[in-house]
Structure 1
Amino acid sequence: MECINLNDGFNAIHDICMSFILKLTHLREVWLFNSFDGCQHTILRKGVKFNQISKIIIIDLNINTISGLLGILSSFSLSGRKKPLHIYGPSGLAEYIDLCKKYSHTNFCYSIYLYILASGVTIDHWNYKMYVMIRYHYFELLIFTHIRPGKFELNKAEKFNIMSGPLYGKLKQGLHFILPDGFILDGTYFINNNYVGLKNSLFNNIYHTRRYVENNINSNMLIYRL
């Protein structure tokens, strides 16, 4: 997972209302968080292609957060985008997009799916999961990557004269097997170090609260408002 700051002139992301990108390497997807005015030009300068962006997450309806949304949606259409786009945001975002389309006389050549952010699991993928927590008029996000099994040690399996087949897949999952003679095969023995999942925290609050501190524990990446 890679985070790309779209706020030129800063070495870190200083304001969650500004825009940034998460590149999810294992999904081969790019998620855009918030859209300030003219962010589509910054995205191109950062070397990100419009067609790579599969999801847009809007944290709140602040003008700094949504002022560039119509511009980037129009840029997607002008670039000939065909695959659908998934947008996550607070209640009222759909009405904002409809009004912008109405008064700018703009239509898009691709499908848009809108989802209202609510507390709980919002995005649940086999490799990534996003939790949403509501705090006053904005949202706090936690993004987790799941633990994945490591490389299967084929040479260890051959030492035990285990024939190749579906059993290899079961052992890679860490399952245990008891053979007819009572010998136990421990799947974890045949795996070379599991990939430990990551935790990324996104907060839009300049004040520390108990929940803020608890949710931030063991985070690999922290993005917050100063």
Structure 2
Amino acid sequence: MIFRYLSTGIYSFKKSNHSFLIKQAFCKDVLIFNCSEGCQINLLNQGFKINNLSKIIVADLHINNISGLLGLLSSLNLIGRTKSLHIYIPCDLKYYVDLGKKYSHTNFNYVVYFHVLKTGLIINSSSYRFYTFFYKRSYVFVFMQLEKYGTFFFNIARKNYLNAGPLYGKLKEGHSFLFSDGFVLDGTKLTQKNLVGQQLSIFKSFFYYRHYFENSLFFSFLLIL
């Protein structure tokens, strides 16, 4: 999991109104948490393409969290984006974006979906999950990257006269098979090492400290805003 800080001029998390991105190493999609002024140029300076942006999550409607949103949406339109974009926010922001489009006399060539944050699972992807919890007038976020199975070595399997079929799937998952002659077929030797899942938790309160450490089953990274 790749984590980059996008806010301008500040390099420590002392307030909750900061912007950063989350990207998984094995896919192109980029997720941005808060969209502060200048996050777009910082995104480009760090070697990421804004067209790979798939989701934006806004913690609250503080001006520092949405000041760069309209500029980013306009830039996506200028580069010819056609893929839809999903924005997760505490309340519907469609009216705010429509006013910005009206003021700048522009329209987007892509669809923007607005999702209102609520307690529970908000993003369920094949490779990660994003949860949010509401506590004391603020949201707590948990990003969980799921375990990814390693690449299966097809060439080695063919050299050992293993025919393609359901057996490949079992071997990729690391299962072992014992043959009648005592030969053991170990799936871990035919597959690259699995990518262990990770968890990124974003808190605004110390209330969840103990609960977090006692129940975390993944390699974890804790971020207190």
- 1:67 equivalent in structure 2: 67
Aligned residues: 221
Q: Distance in 1 between matches of 2:98 and 2:137?
A: 22
Q: What SS does the aligned partner of 2:206 have? A: coil
- 2:90 equivalent in structure 1: 90
Structure 1 position 51, deviation (Å): 0.9
Amino acid at match of 1:215: Y
- 2:162 equivalent in structure 1: 163
Q: Distance in 1 between matches of 2:37 and 2:157?
A: 57
Q: Distance in 2 between matches of 1:144 and 1:188?
A: 25
Structure 1 position 95, deviation (Å): 2.8
Structure 1 position 73, deviation (Å): 0.9
Amino acid at match of 1:165: A
Q: Distance in 2 between matches of 1:178 and 1:219?
A: 33
- 2:112 equivalent in structure 1: 112
Structure 1 position 182, deviation (Å): 10
Q: Distance in 2 between matches of 1:156 and 1:43?
A: 41
RMSD (CA atoms): 3.0
Instruction: Return 5+ residue gaps in structure 2 as ranges.
Output: none
- 1:129 equivalent in structure 2: 129
Q: Distance in 1 between matches of 2:9 and 2:173?
A: 46
1:79 aligns with 2:79: yes
Amino acid at match of 2:164: G
Q: What SS does the aligned partner of 1:4 have? A: strand
Q: TM-score under structure 1 normalisation?
A: 0.80
Contact 1:201-1:219 within 8 A present in 2 as well: no
Mean CA deviation greater in 86-95 or 60-69: 86-95
1:182-212 CA-partner distances (Å, limit 9, x unpaired): 9986756755543221111112x1x411x24
Q: Distance in 2 between matches of 1:26 and 1:153?
A: 18
Structure 1 position 34, deviation (Å): 0.8
- 1:208 equivalent in structure 2: 206
Q: What SS does the aligned partner of 1:143 have? A: strand
Q: What SS does the aligned partner of 1:171 have? A: helix
- 1:141-152 counterparts in 2 under 5 A? 141-152=141-152
- 1:22 equivalent in structure 2: 22
Structure 1 position 89, deviation (Å): 1.2
Structure 1 position 121, deviation (Å): 1.4
Q: What SS does the aligned partner of 1:75 have? A: helix
Amino acid at match of 1:73: L
Amino acid at match of 2:117: L
Mean CA deviation greater in 72-81 or 181-190: 181-190
Mean CA deviation greater in 116-125 or 93-102: 93-102
Q: What SS does the aligned partner of 1:80 have? A: coil
Greater relative contact order (Cα 8 A, min sep 6): structure 1 or 2?
1
Contact 1:16-1:223 within 8 A present in 2 as well: no
Q: What SS does the aligned partner of 1:18 have? A: coil
Contact 2:77-2:109 within 8 A present in 1 as well: yes
Structure 1 position 170, deviation (Å): 2.0
Amino acid at match of 2:132: V
Structure 1 position 54, deviation (Å): 1.4
Q: Rate the CA distance shift 1:136–1:219 in 2: closer, same or farther, 3 A.
A: farther
